[in-house]
Amino acid sequence: MDTRQHGGLRLKKAMVIIVFIAFVSIFSGVADTIYAAKITDSQKIEYLLTDFHVSAQKGNYAYQRERYEHFDCLRGDSYFDLEFNKIASVTFIAKYHNPIKYHRLADVALVSGEKFKLYLNCYSLEGIDSTLGSRVRVHMADTKSIIFLHDGTFKKCPLCNTIFYNTELTYCSFDKEKLVPQHSD
Protein backbone atom coordinates (compact mmCIF):
# COMPACT_ATOMS: atom_id res chain seq x y z
CA MET A 1 0.00 0.00 0.00
CA ASP A 2 1.51 3.35 -0.97
CA THR A 3 1.42 6.49 1.19
CA ARG A 4 -1.52 8.07 -0.66
CA GLN A 5 -3.74 5.01 -0.13
CA HIS A 6 -2.77 4.80 3.53
CA GLY A 7 -3.50 8.55 4.01
CA GLY A 8 -6.87 8.17 2.27
CA LEU A 9 -7.78 5.24 4.54
CA ARG A 10 -6.95 7.30 7.65
CA LEU A 11 -9.08 10.16 6.32
CA LYS A 12 -12.03 7.79 5.73
CA LYS A 13 -11.70 6.38 9.27
CA ALA A 14 -11.55 9.90 10.70
CA MET A 15 -14.70 10.87 8.74
CA VAL A 16 -16.57 7.79 10.00
CA ILE A 17 -15.57 8.62 13.58
CA ILE A 18 -16.68 12.26 13.21
CA VAL A 19 -20.04 11.22 11.73
CA PHE A 20 -20.52 8.64 14.52
CA ILE A 21 -19.72 11.21 17.25
CA ALA A 22 -22.11 13.73 15.67
CA PHE A 23 -24.87 11.09 15.45
CA VAL A 24 -24.38 10.00 19.07
CA SER A 25 -24.31 13.58 20.38
CA ILE A 26 -27.49 14.49 18.50
CA PHE A 27 -29.57 11.41 19.28
CA SER A 28 -28.38 10.33 22.72
CA GLY A 29 -28.20 13.68 24.47
CA VAL A 30 -30.73 15.12 26.86
CA ALA A 31 -33.83 16.20 24.97
CA ASP A 32 -34.70 19.87 24.66
CA THR A 33 -37.96 20.96 26.26
CA ILE A 34 -40.06 23.60 24.51
CA TYR A 35 -42.84 25.46 26.35
CA ALA A 36 -45.52 27.79 24.98
CA ALA A 37 -47.40 30.50 26.87
CA LYS A 38 -49.71 33.43 26.34
CA ILE A 39 -48.37 36.55 28.10
CA THR A 40 -50.48 39.64 28.80
CA ASP A 41 -48.56 42.76 29.81
CA SER A 42 -49.71 45.71 31.93
CA GLN A 43 -50.97 47.53 28.80
CA LYS A 44 -53.13 44.47 27.90
CA ILE A 45 -50.94 43.56 24.91
CA GLU A 46 -50.89 39.78 24.36
CA TYR A 47 -47.91 37.75 23.19
CA LEU A 48 -48.14 34.11 22.17
CA LEU A 49 -44.63 32.84 22.85
CA THR A 50 -43.10 29.53 21.83
CA ASP A 51 -39.72 28.41 23.16
CA PHE A 52 -40.88 30.22 26.30
CA HIS A 53 -38.39 30.57 29.17
CA VAL A 54 -37.27 32.88 31.93
CA SER A 55 -34.01 34.66 31.40
CA ALA A 56 -31.73 36.42 33.85
CA GLN A 57 -28.58 38.45 33.46
CA LYS A 58 -25.44 36.37 33.91
CA GLY A 59 -22.70 38.11 35.86
CA ASN A 60 -22.09 41.78 35.10
CA TYR A 61 -22.80 41.52 31.37
CA ALA A 62 -26.29 42.39 30.13
CA TYR A 63 -25.74 40.48 26.86
CA GLN A 64 -24.96 37.23 28.69
CA ARG A 65 -28.19 35.65 29.89
CA GLU A 66 -29.07 32.41 31.68
CA ARG A 67 -32.07 30.38 30.50
CA TYR A 68 -34.45 28.82 33.05
CA GLU A 69 -37.54 26.65 32.70
CA HIS A 70 -38.82 27.36 36.20
CA PHE A 71 -39.70 30.29 38.43
CA ASP A 72 -37.72 31.11 41.57
CA CYS A 73 -40.44 31.31 44.22
CA LEU A 74 -40.78 32.36 47.81
CA ARG A 75 -43.53 31.13 50.13
CA GLY A 76 -43.19 31.96 53.79
CA ASP A 77 -39.49 31.57 54.57
CA SER A 78 -38.86 28.93 51.88
CA TYR A 79 -37.30 29.48 48.46
CA PHE A 80 -37.94 26.86 45.79
CA ASP A 81 -38.05 26.30 42.03
CA LEU A 82 -41.47 25.81 40.46
CA GLU A 83 -41.09 23.98 37.13
CA PHE A 84 -43.14 25.19 34.16
CA ASN A 85 -44.60 21.73 33.51
CA LYS A 86 -46.53 21.98 36.81
CA ILE A 87 -48.00 25.46 36.16
CA ALA A 88 -51.31 26.21 34.42
CA SER A 89 -51.35 29.99 34.96
CA VAL A 90 -49.87 32.93 36.86
CA THR A 91 -51.75 36.16 37.61
CA PHE A 92 -49.78 38.95 39.23
CA ILE A 93 -51.63 40.59 42.12
CA ALA A 94 -49.29 43.40 43.07
CA LYS A 95 -46.86 45.61 41.26
CA TYR A 96 -43.15 45.09 41.71
CA HIS A 97 -42.45 46.32 45.25
CA ASN A 98 -39.84 46.31 47.95
CA PRO A 99 -41.11 44.22 50.90
CA ILE A 100 -39.35 41.31 49.23
CA LYS A 101 -36.74 42.70 46.88
CA TYR A 102 -37.08 41.73 43.19
CA HIS A 103 -40.22 39.62 43.77
CA ARG A 104 -43.90 40.08 42.83
CA LEU A 105 -46.88 38.53 44.54
CA ALA A 106 -48.91 36.27 42.23
CA ASP A 107 -51.79 33.81 42.21
CA VAL A 108 -50.38 30.59 40.78
CA ALA A 109 -52.66 27.81 39.50
CA LEU A 110 -51.09 24.39 39.01
CA VAL A 111 -52.20 21.81 36.43
CA SER A 112 -53.21 19.63 39.40
CA GLY A 113 -55.87 22.23 40.31
CA GLU A 114 -54.07 23.53 43.41
CA LYS A 115 -53.77 27.31 43.84
CA PHE A 116 -51.20 29.30 45.82
CA LYS A 117 -50.13 32.86 46.51
CA LEU A 118 -46.39 32.99 45.84
CA TYR A 119 -43.72 35.61 45.39
CA LEU A 120 -41.98 35.14 42.03
CA ASN A 121 -38.53 36.51 41.27
CA CYS A 122 -38.77 39.22 38.59
CA TYR A 123 -36.66 38.13 35.65
CA SER A 124 -37.44 38.56 31.97
CA LEU A 125 -39.84 36.31 30.07
CA GLU A 126 -38.52 35.36 26.63
CA GLY A 127 -39.68 33.41 23.63
CA ILE A 128 -40.47 33.58 19.96
CA ASP A 129 -43.61 35.60 19.29
CA SER A 130 -45.72 33.61 16.85
CA THR A 131 -47.29 36.78 15.40
CA LEU A 132 -44.06 38.73 14.87
CA GLY A 133 -41.88 35.70 14.16
CA SER A 134 -39.07 37.15 16.25
CA ARG A 135 -37.57 36.76 19.71
CA VAL A 136 -39.36 38.89 22.32
CA ARG A 137 -38.41 39.78 25.91
CA VAL A 138 -41.16 40.90 28.30
CA HIS A 139 -40.09 42.00 31.76
CA MET A 140 -41.97 40.31 34.59
CA ALA A 141 -42.33 43.72 36.28
CA ASP A 142 -44.63 44.68 33.35
CA THR A 143 -46.48 41.35 33.11
CA LYS A 144 -50.12 40.96 34.14
CA SER A 145 -50.62 37.23 33.46
CA ILE A 146 -49.05 34.08 32.02
CA ILE A 147 -51.17 31.20 30.72
CA PHE A 148 -49.27 28.04 29.80
CA LEU A 149 -50.51 26.12 26.74
CA HIS A 150 -50.40 22.67 28.32
CA ASP A 151 -52.44 20.63 30.75
CA GLY A 152 -49.61 18.69 32.39
CA THR A 153 -49.14 16.46 29.36
CA PHE A 154 -46.52 16.79 26.67
CA LYS A 155 -45.71 15.50 23.22
CA LYS A 156 -42.37 14.06 22.18
CA CYS A 157 -40.74 13.91 18.77
CA PRO A 158 -39.69 10.32 18.01
CA LEU A 159 -36.82 11.53 15.79
CA CYS A 160 -35.07 14.33 17.72
CA ASN A 161 -36.52 13.56 21.21
CA THR A 162 -37.58 17.19 21.74
CA ILE A 163 -40.35 17.53 24.32
CA PHE A 164 -43.16 19.99 23.59
CA TYR A 165 -45.42 21.29 26.36
CA ASN A 166 -47.90 22.73 23.89
CA THR A 167 -51.27 21.04 23.37
CA GLU A 168 -51.76 22.88 20.07
CA LEU A 169 -48.82 21.24 18.23
CA THR A 170 -49.17 18.09 16.13
CA TYR A 171 -45.80 18.04 14.32
CA CYS A 172 -42.24 18.76 15.47
CA SER A 173 -41.25 22.30 14.56
CA PHE A 174 -37.68 21.12 13.80
CA ASP A 175 -38.01 17.97 11.69
CA LYS A 176 -41.78 17.84 10.94
CA GLU A 177 -42.23 14.36 12.48
CA LYS A 178 -45.65 13.60 14.02
CA LEU A 179 -45.45 14.15 17.79
CA VAL A 180 -46.31 11.32 20.18
CA PRO A 181 -48.51 12.24 23.19
CA GLN A 182 -46.96 11.50 26.61
CA HIS A 183 -48.01 12.09 30.23
CA SER A 184 -45.99 14.13 32.68
CA ASP A 185 -45.17 12.46 36.01
For residue 110, what pLDDT is reported?
Answer: 96
For residue 55, what pLDDT is reported?
Answer: 83
Closest C-alpha to 113, from 86, 77, 79, 74: 86
Least confidently predicted of 12-16, 119-123, 131-135, 169-173: 12-16
- What's the rounded mean pLDDT across residues 123-147? 88
Least confidently predicted of 17-31, 64-78, 79-93, 129-143: 17-31
For 135, which DSSP code?
A: E
Q: Are 123 and 68 in contact (CB under 8 A)?
A: yes
Q: Are 144 and 132 in contact (CB under 8 A)?
A: no
Task: Convert the pLDDT of each residue in 21-70 to its tens digit.
Answer: 334 334 444 468 899 999 998 899 999 999 988 887 665 555 556 788 99
Residue 35: count other Cβ atoms within 10 Å of its Cβ: 23
Which sign does the torsion angle of CA 60, 65, 68, 70 carry? positive
